[in-house]
Structure 1
Amino acid sequence: MLTATQVPGGPNWLGLTTPDAAASAAFYGDVFGWRYEPVQPEEREFGLFRLAGRTVASCGPVAEPGTAAEWQIYFRTVDADATAKAVEQAGGTVRFPAHDVLMAGRAAGFTDPTGARFAVWQPREVDSLDAINTAGALCWTELYTTDAAASKAFYGAVLPWDTGWEIEVGTHVLAIISPSGSGREAQHGAIMQLLPENLAAGSRSEWHPYFATRDCDGVATAATERGAETLIPPIDVPGVARVAMLRDPFGATFGVLQATTAPTTTE
């Protein structure tokens, strides 16, 4: 579960870009109980998803017509402009430059050298999401990558992360992400190498948000009944969680996670 959202490098915002805000709001409202609140009545494609009055994500239109929906994870930075320079120096690209979002904060978006898209948020009046680690809210982040070694080197140069702690999950080895110098008590995600069969099938590098649930199977069923595609059906990660991976009706990929206990580490 997320334990490092309030320090540099921790995930502190989550945004959905979608071609149909109303339809996406209906889908996530049915699946997680979210309520969509437009920022302005006349601009209903921009808004916030709220759960019990607390913000769990933002919503905005896709950049280009015909583009699929996408979940975008934002990591905390103290200087979005400096992070953009670090991204370019480390071999990544800037998708959208650092810019002010009214008085809320400053944001920038990037693509890492393996093709995964991510962003950073430099807080001002809006610090971070109001809810995490509760049913229906963000609880974990994961990078599925075509090159784990290259990804760890890149993010280590761009964000204050440690990735030296690894756990085995079936045939996968996950490098756990934690703030530099924080030890294993603080963690907020993992980097996972895609397997050869995934690569052969055309899988690409992507960041995925996971939402907490008390009923992984029930949420997965509710999502598929409302048009989502099942990418990974509910499975047990022994001693860790029950998880599933889904693609919403508009193309955005997300996971659901029903936690059990802490994972076993490997050195």
Structure 2
Amino acid sequence: MPDVTAPYSPGTPCWVDLAAPDQQAALDFYSAVFGWTGEIGPADTGGYSVCHLNDKPVAGIMAAVPMEDQPAPPTVWTTYLASTNVDATSEAIGSAGGTVVMPVMDVMKFGRMCIAADPTGAVFGVWEALEFPGAGIVNEHGAVVWNQLNTTDRDAAAAFYETAFGIKAEAMEVEGAEGYFALKVDDRPVGGMTSMPPELPAGTPSHWLTYFAVADADGTVAKVTAAGGSVLKEPFDMVAGRMAIVTDQQGATFAVITPKPMGEGE
């Protein structure tokens, strides 16, 4: 079901957000491409915008501004992994060879979080829900459908996420998915992992890539370019559906995919 009605299990991607130099321009872009609604939030939330799809929270957009002694965050989509105790998870991240980039902090009454990097350099967030569990809608047009780790060291990444989060990497034994690993929580795929795609520029760091489900990949790519975005990889057919990799008008990369119906292509 696309509506999320149960808490996210620890280790499951539960939220994504974007830091954008021009927050309003980003809100306008994703409204045009996916039909999201959202507005710049109040000052006491730092202007953070929780965007909605079908009246349910789907993703966040914030202004990319410096915080205290930290530089402004990069213009990227960040994947957040669920935790029931972000303090303990923060310690586990360090013990497993990762780095806590932004220490644990309270987000008003909504939850607690930190930002970290795995040993290969991929940055991600950790979210401990209080009043806000995360995305209220997934797996349908305009909502997150998949989170993929592109890594420079598959073995090191797999060992880290299993130690820190209990996420298990399992090779997908599907034709067309050779070298691809499912990331599983409680034996349920919640994301994927692959070695750094060869078409990316040399030196591209490890990173998490957010996939949004769309009803028509080709039509959505046309909306992306009409709204000022760019196409990094034109729509193509693959084992899970028809997908493309694009950027918004400020350079944030994401994927769009029209998934195949369950059971098709297996």
TM-score normalised per structure 1: 0.88
Which residue in the other structure is 2:107 paired with? 101
Structure 1 stretches of at least 4 aligned residues deviating more than 6 Å after TM superposition: 1-5, 41-44
1:234 aligns with 2:205: no
User: Cα distance, 1:159 vs. partner?
Assistant: 0.7
Which residue in the other structure is 1:211 paired with? 212
For 1:175, give the aligned amino acid: F
Q: Give the stretch that moved more between structures: 91-100 or 168-177.
A: 168-177
Distance 1:95 1:67, change over 3 A: closer
Give the conservation status (yes or no) of the 8 Å contact 1:95–1:109.
yes
Q: Deviations over 1:197-242 (max 9, x none)?
A: 447633221101111111011111110222222122111113x211
Unaligned runs of 5+ in 1: none
Q: Map 1:39-58 to 2 at 5 A.
A: 39-40=41-42, 45-58=47-60
Distance 1:119 1:233, change over 3 A: same
For 2:243, give the aligned amino acid: V
Give the conservation status (yes or no) of the 8 Å contact 1:177–1:191.
yes
Which residue in the other structure is 1:157 paired with? 163
Unaligned runs of 5+ in 2: none
Give the conservation status (yes or no) of the 8 Å contact 2:172–2:178.
no
Distance 1:169 1:21, change over 3 A: farther
Quote the Cα distance in structure 1 between the aligned partners of 2:7 and 2:140: 14
Q: Map 1:98-247 to 2 at 5 A.
A: 98-167=104-173, 170=176, 172-179=178-185, 182-183=186-187, 186-195=188-197, 197-198=198-199, 201-238=202-239, 240-247=240-247
User: Cα distance, 1:263 vs. partner?
Assistant: 7.5
DSSP-derived class of the 2:221 partner: helix
Quote the Cα distance in structure 2 between the aligned partners of 1:151 and 1:93: 13
Give the conservation status (yes or no) of the 8 Å contact 1:39–1:46.
yes
For 2:196, give the aligned amino acid: L
1:78 aligns with 2:84: yes
User: Cα distance, 1:168 vs. partner?
Assistant: 5.2
User: Cα distance, 1:41 vs. partner?
Assistant: 7.0
DSSP-derived class of the 1:96 partner: strand
Which residue in the other structure is 1:250 paired with? 250
TM-score normalised per structure 2: 0.89
